[in-house]
Amino acid sequence: MTQSLTLVVLSSGLTSFKEIRAALSTDSRAQLLAGGNDAEQVQEEIVRLKPNAAIITLGANPEQAIKLIEKLVTQCPKTAIISAAQGASGELILQSLRAGAREFLNLPIKPTELKTVFDRISELAVSHVEAPKKRGRTVAVFSSKGGCGTSFIATNLAAAMSSRTILVDLNLQAGDLPLYLGVDPKYSIAEIVENRSRLDDALIASFVTQCTPQLSLLAAPKQADSADEIEPEHVY
């Protein structure tokens, strides 16, 4: 099965866009998602659509096109940028490549040259296909009343896991899991909730307490009144 290649095109005008679109139609892999001659609008479309490739014509204002390529390389690292121009100098081609373009196409586009470029872009697209992320699982331990050994079971179950595990103490007003693990947490779930709008892996890691190489603890709040700010949706 032929691997399709999604594309967005920045042309230097309507005629240029029609010529590029006609050239793309000669390769069955090409799937044109959007195009136009407005650099800002095309940039927005590329960021939104995240195509496999974007053809950027250098046109009458090559400096603007070069700056756009530099932005796109940062904003959309998985989109292969193809610069294109008619009668471009070697210096201009080199500038576009230095800005981050992976390929260059002479205008008008020749089918053989397009095929060569698409072959290379296809290899790049395949290499960017991410393996499915491994998903963790959640195990909840609870009881209908206190004193049933919930904390004891949860702590031992977490410690027995062979994979990396975070033990979360949701006894928000009387959490005692640090006593079971012999640690003194600096932060708790209260800090997680307070900073939820800017959470990332690094910030989460800074709020949990490392107990063993495999086990970490996200403790209950040290102050009982901090639990008043934690809602059920924050836990989900």
Please write the tens of the pLDDT for every residue from 7-29: 999 999 889 999 999 999 999 99
Residue 134 inside a domain? The answer is no
Collapsing DSSP states into helix, strand and coil, what is residue 118? helix
Residues 164, 74 share a domain? no
pLDDT digits (tens, 9 = 90+) for 211-235: 988 999 999 888 877 777 787 777 7
Cα separation values, 135 from 80, 131, 226, Å: 29, 12, 30
pLDDT digits (tens, 9 = 90+) for 64-84: 999 999 999 999 988 999 999
Residues 157, 195 share a domain? yes
Residues 116, 206 share a domain? no
Q: What is the pLDDT of residue 127?
A: 60
Q: What is the pLDDT of residue 1?
A: 47
Q: Is the peptide bond before 62 cis (omega within 30 degrees of 0)?
A: no
Q: What is the pLDDT of residue 2?
A: 61
Which two tokens mark 5? 């290649």
Residues 158, 47 share a domain? no
Residues 32, 85 share a domain? yes
Residues 61, 121 share a domain? yes
Residues 111, 13 share a domain? yes
Residues 106, 9 share a domain? yes
Residues 183, 226 share a domain? yes
Cα Rg of the chain (Å, integer):
27
Split into its structural domains, the chain has a count of 2
Neighbours of 5 (CB within 10 A): 22
Residues 11, 119 share a domain? yes
Residues 117, 29 share a domain? yes
More confident residue, 127 or 69: 69
**What range defines the domain where residue 170 resides?**
150-231
pLDDT digits (tens, 9 = 90+) for 135-151: 778 888 888 777 888 89
Between CA 35 and CA 72 the distance in angstroms is: 15
The CATH code of the domain that includes 45 is 3.40.50.2300
Q: Give the end of a domain, one of 74, 92, 127.
A: 127
